[in-house]
Structure 1
């Protein structure tokens, strides 16, 4: 049992697993921020432009709720396409932000790769011959 726990500890403490966990946590928080931007900042003006519609209220009711007094006996059945539109916009914005992030990271890594390494110093005998040649040119 101790061996399994030791192996799990080594697995969990590797850099890739920790980096992935941090990425997932930050991604979840980023998703909430984007959802708020879409729901609270983008969709209200769009809804206003098309006649004061709240997108989350857009739906096609297939079957109305059956009520008895104030009690719902059978809930309504509906296709909530407005919520689908909002979630789709969330996805598009998140995907675009990730695209820009990856594009920026790729351009930074290309710049690092494009920097040519310094040429290696020539061997000592070549350096000596070059110096002799330069001296002969000066004298000559």
Structure 2
């Protein structure tokens, strides 16, 4: 039972919950970026490169063949998909860079703002009053 309580305390801590939320949002964000790359960025890029569809860019290592009525598919290296994944990564990395840059600039603004002087604790005020009375 001790391990179960310890695990529950660990799982409820803010960092674990924040991490879980980040993973879920990151997965959804990844789908959005993949759609952006596949549906928005790559088609015009393919047109600019002469009508190339990056999904069709493959190197065939072995052609498809049939032996005794059994079909064996072609073995290909899909370097077009690899190029799309590189574009995905660059876009995601750039968006994360912009987000971190914005967060850092907000932190710098908060640090630059002068902090209001905190009221001294009561014990310090009392000690100052005693000091002043002893001076008199």
TM-score by length of 1: 0.79
Structure 1 residue 119 displacement after superposition: 5.3
Structure 1 residue 91 displacement after superposition: 0.5
- Alignment-derived partner of residue 35 in structure 1: 34
User: Structure 1: where are the runs of 5+ without partners?
Assistant: 125-140
1:119 and 1:18, CA in 2 relative to 1: closer, same or farther beyond 3 A? closer
Structure 1 residue 63 displacement after superposition: 1.0
Within 5 Å, which residues of 2 pair with 1:1-140? 2-68=1-67, 71-72=70-71, 74-118=72-116
RMSD: 2.3
CA distance, structure 2, for counterparts of residue 120 and residue 80 of structure 1? 63
Structure 1 residue 117 displacement after superposition: 2.2
What secondary structure is seen at the aligned counterpart in 2 of 1:46? helix
What secondary structure is seen at the aligned counterpart in 1 of 2:66? strand
CA distance, structure 1, for counterparts of residue 107 and residue 47 of structure 2? 44
What secondary structure is seen at the aligned counterpart in 2 of 1:99? helix
Structure 1 residue 64 displacement after superposition: 0.6
- Alignment-derived partner of residue 130 in structure 1: none
Equivalenced residue count is 122
Q: Deviations over 1:23-59 (max 9, x none)?
A: 0100000000000000011101111122212101101
User: Structure 2: where are the runs of 5+ without partners?
Assistant: 120-124, 129-136
1:24 and 1:120, CA in 2 relative to 1: closer, same or farther beyond 3 A? closer
TM-score by length of 2: 0.81
